[in-house]
Chains A and B, each alone.
Chain A
Amino acid sequence: MVTSAPKTGPAPFAAAKAKVLGCDRCGTCLPACPLFQVQDVERASARGKNALVRGLAEGLIPPDREAQEALEFCLLCRACTDACPGKVPTDEAMVQVRQALADTLGSTPLRSRWIGRVLRRRRLVGLGAATLAGLRVAELHRLLPPQLVPRETSRRAYLKKHAGPALLGASAPRPEPAVHPGAKVAYFQGCGMKMLFPDASRSTQRILAQLSPFQQPDHPCCGLPHLAHGQREAFLDLARENIQAFEDADLVVTDCASCSGSLKHLTSWFAEDPIWRGPAERFSAKVMDLTEYLVAAGYQPQRLPDATFTYHDPCHLARGQGIRQQPRQLLKQAGKLIELAEKERCCGGSGSFHLEHPEAAAAILQRKQANIEGTGAQVVVTACPGCLIQLTRAADQSEGAFQAMHISQVI
């Protein structure tokens, strides 16, 4: 039992194994992993999942449904990578191993396959958005489970509550954009914003319009849900469509942290593709998160002196893109910001994770809710529809202690 040379294993898992080679199983990730807090068994931790990847690659673990389920049980929140002394990219390994397992066993679970199919079709997304809008008008959306159709708080309701009607419709000052003066700005409206948070999406558009005229090309999903569930080809198809759809734009601004995160990182997926490498690189270079763009463009939010906020950092924005200061800067200009304990801890949303693992997601959210309530803030603000689904749910559970809103609704 002396240390032996690393074995090479079943080929499909080689790419994932290469990502976890730096894991020396020290355990630093254990207290960082939100799922390990919920299920304190090795399989649930980042270290455990990295070991499973090696186990698969070295033929010690059979590539079966159980392995697939274990590896689907990851939020891809990168908290482990952040804590890891060797910065092992467990989230990237999970994406790769899920792909390898999906290639072997077929995609799972059923729900994500279904979601993947819907999100691939622009018409279905549009239809979904229209249906939900109709349901909202008729107040019938309350009949559906809140995980599927979160109860969105409208900006109108927010202003009514916190500032009074006098401020409704007041326009923010219009500074000259500091970035790319005269740049052609395009809005990337992610599926989550379009279908689940139309009021927040309208707020984003209103803000963008205050700064400069912007385009809104017809475009499909960013493809992250597909990538996360082993549907690489679908992801690549969608990426190519998006690259083309935004060819004319100089800046692609999105108000979804997951969309901006995945769109900014298209380059690596096309690194070996002589045709798409260049366009992917150019496209990724022009993607900006809404808050990143607003701060760079010198946007001045309306100040509502009575409003108190706390801010939840979306994993894909803070750890994924290093965007932490911009949302805070905007919020401090708009009202009083009270920092949240464990502000960067995942809320448990993570794409469709909350649908597939409702109990684990609820347990993670419980801690988030307690932290939010601890601030005493009236509004918890975030910058990702995935998080907003969860936070809206926490707001419901808090029975009015706080509201949950997208940042574009409060600035």
Chain B
Amino acid sequence: MNQSPETFDTNAIQALNDRQLRAALLNLASTFGERRKLAILSVNDWEGLRAQARSIKDETLANLDQYLEQFVLKAENNGAQIHWALNGEAAQRLILDLLKEKNVRRIVKSKSMTTEEIHLNEALERAGYAPVETDLGEWIIQLAHETPSHIVVPAIHKSKRQIAELFVEKVGIEPTDNVDELTKTARRVLRERFAEADVGISGVNFAVAETGTFLILENEGNARLTTSLPKIHIAVMGIEKVIPRLADLDVFLKLLPRSGTGQQLTAYQSLITGAKRQPDDEGPEEVHLVILDNGRSRMLAHPVTRQSLACIRCGACLNACPVYQQIGGHAYGSVYPGPIGAVITPQLSGIEKARQLPFASSLCGACREVCPVKIDIPELLLHLRAEVKQGAASRAASQTGKVSKHRIERLAFRFYAFAWSKKLTYEWGMKIARVFQRSIARKGRIGKVSGLFAGLAPALEAWTDWRDAPTIAERSFREVWREAEKTKGK
């Protein structure tokens, strides 16, 4: 189940053969797509709101150092303890040290992509802890030893039956297909975990610089319990989660749930401003905030990649993406799937490891159309494609011997750019191709190509495996035009 971005091609084919998965994805896309459209109608000026959100993000990212500093000062004043982590390992170490120092054993977690990103659960388990995910979907995939396949709906790939079987096996209930029964089971087990936990670990949706408050949005109440019942609360956030003012929340709280799940508002919004102050207050005694870079400042440096940090993880681009709709999240082999995953994974984990992902898109632009913060994902994909090709070129230059696929492609594009920048070579090239195609064309089309031609033109083979190809016309448009001009002149 642990797929990697390096094998995206084979992961994808595996996913395409999973009928259950594809039925679930089809359902996800249409349900959330429809709900999103309806939810948007309940806002007066959706486009204006999007533009406003983007400009808030742009302003924040342009002055991220200042806003982070302001947020940290305020949060410390509120009694939160701040920790900085340059990368995932640093964050893991920090959290493990903290747990040891506080001598805690039992950990509950609420759904957080950032802790998935730094593989916190694995690190905790290696150190002998048994952290319990308390978001229902997240708990299900934890029981199944899987990773989330969607940012917002982590267990979307699992059917009711699979979940029931999982509960029978792992929780020891009697076989049932009653959803109520399953939810009750989850509630019962998770309640016990909440009651005995010493530490709650969560993510952060927004961090308000003006007040030092941070926010978590959710629908089940587990985040609220995670952050308030245990004595210690540890929240992990990326540096990009900061927004300047409390009033800006108005914009984002309208955009995020509508874009992601088509809700007007999530069922719970927990605003956390420090630890408890008086002995009689409710809430944790200690609040720790781990602020994570992990490649983000690299994204910040370039004006094109910077917009990746505007993402509010609503998941709308996943639901709208035709590629995600066919293959789901696991095929991307990383924590962040879909269009936004295809652009941030290569930036987070290094472009070499994830070099297939920027190409895993038809560039249809549906993601850009739905993104509430107007991230131009196609622009980012194109930017990263150029980077991949540059990297591949330098790799190929240092290579001797074996001719790589990339070198053939590069050669083909060089040849194309050369030949097609001259009228003569363009016209003659096409005339020659016209002669060549005679051996494979039938009745004006080219069916499945194999044998010698497939070896010569792998692209033609890949195309004609599934689709007929058109033939080069007997006379090109320019030839027709030339002739018409000649007769006109006579």
* A and B interact: no
Interface residues of B (CB under 8 A from A): none
